[in-house]
């Protein structure tokens, strides 16, 4: 099941302009400010009180909005806690929708933008500590990453003009890129934020491309990955007894 994204089709994560450079309407700007304020308040309360002890009522009150408005923006307490990750998923979808560039280049642009958008090492480290301490948040993060992997795999299949359900190469490439990106973030956190995060993420893309090879090279080396799935056997019609 795909993660529902508030404002799907619009980048709700940054700036005051639309994708084509036009200024956002006043209502949209107010909604964005209210949403970002709620995310900041929730992050602080989760940090101070813990996820289970924090309530939507307390968050809504300190964010100067009603609980119904809070839920309209985020859908659930879990989605509020992972709002930045869900925003990144929507940003990824917007990048992948730009079919004027190869899919790998769209992915490279996305991961650089994602790395540059981090608030700070400390805030991201605190958020990850919260996630690993709450099973429900870990499950939601896994769903987000699977959705991202599915979106990327479909983009690779569309680029190659093949059925995404039959494209094992595209799914392998997507899985390696998404998992590799996550591994970089974990290593970056464990190192105390040492190194250029964007460069490390890009290095993973280069490594995956080098090790897996192009679609044509992989087809030549491992042809079993490209064998068409045999058609499902059709049930034989049973003759009725007279």
Q: How far is CA 60 from the centre of its chain?
A: 26
Most confident of the following: 11-15, 83-87, 222-226, 232-236: 83-87
Which tens digit of pLDDT belongs to each residue from 17-65? 555 555 567 778 888 899 999 999 999 999 999 999 999 999 999 999 9
The answer to whether residue 71 is domain-embedded is: no
Residue 200 counted as domain residue: yes
CATH code, domain carrying 212: 1.10.357.10
pLDDT of res. 132: 95
pLDDT at 161: 95
- Look at residue 111 and tell me if it is in a domain: yes
pLDDT at 4: 53
What lies within 8 Å, CB to CB, of 121 at 6+ separation is 189, 192, 193
- For the record, the structure tokens of 101 come out as 């560039």
Task: Report the C-alpha gap between 198 and 185 in whole angstroms.
Answer: 10
* Domain contains 68: no
> What's 14-52 look like in SS3?
CCCECCCCCECCHHHHHHHHHHHHHHHHHHHHHHHHCCC
Q: Model pTM?
A: 0.82
219 vs 131, higher pLDDT: 131
Closest CA to 86 of 52, 26, 46, 137: 137
User: Does residue 136 lie in a domain region?
Assistant: yes
For residue 6, being part of any structural domain is answered with no
Domain holding 203, by residue range, is 77-223
Dist. CA 143–CA 86, nearest whole Å = 10
Report if residue 17 sits inside a domain.
Answer: no
Number of H helices, E strands in the chain: 11, 0
Q: Evaluate the CA torsion angle 11, 91, 75, 84 in order and state its sign.
A: negative
- The reply to whether 93 falls in a domain is yes
Looking at the structure of the chain, the number of domains it has is: 1
In what helix (H) or strand (E) does residue 169 lie, and over which residues does it extend? helix 168-190
């Amino acid at each position: 099941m795909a993660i529902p994204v508030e404002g799907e089709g619009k980048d709700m994560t940054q700036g005051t302009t639309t994708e084509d450079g036009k200024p956002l309407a006043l209502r949209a700007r107010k909604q964005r400010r209210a949403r970002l304020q709620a995310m900041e308040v929730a992050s602080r309360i989760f940090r101070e009180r813990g996820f289970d002890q924090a309530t939507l009522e307390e968050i809504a009150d300190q964010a100067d909005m009603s609980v119904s408005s809070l839920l309209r923006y985020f859908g659930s307490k879990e989605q509020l806690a992972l709002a930045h990750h869900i925003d990144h998923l929507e940003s990824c979808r917007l990048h992948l929708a730009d079919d004027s560039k190869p899919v790998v280049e769209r992915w490279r642009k996305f991961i650089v933008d994602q790395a540059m958008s981090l608030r700070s090492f400390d805030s991201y480290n605190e958020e990850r500590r919260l996630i690993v301490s709450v099973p429900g948040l870990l499950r939601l993060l896994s769903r987000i990453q699977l959705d991202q992997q599915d979106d990327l795999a479909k983009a690779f299949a569309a680029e190659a003009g093949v059925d995404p359900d039959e494209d094992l190469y595209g799914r392998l490439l997507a899985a390696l890129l998404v998992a590799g990106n996550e591994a970089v973030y974990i290593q970056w956190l464990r190192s105390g934020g040492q190194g250029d995060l964007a460069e490390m993420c890009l290095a993973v893309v280069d490594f995956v491309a080098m090790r897996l090879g192009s679609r044509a090279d992989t087809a030549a080396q491992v042809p079993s990955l490209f064998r068409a799935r045999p058609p499902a056997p059709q049930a034989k019609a049973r003759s009725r007894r007279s």
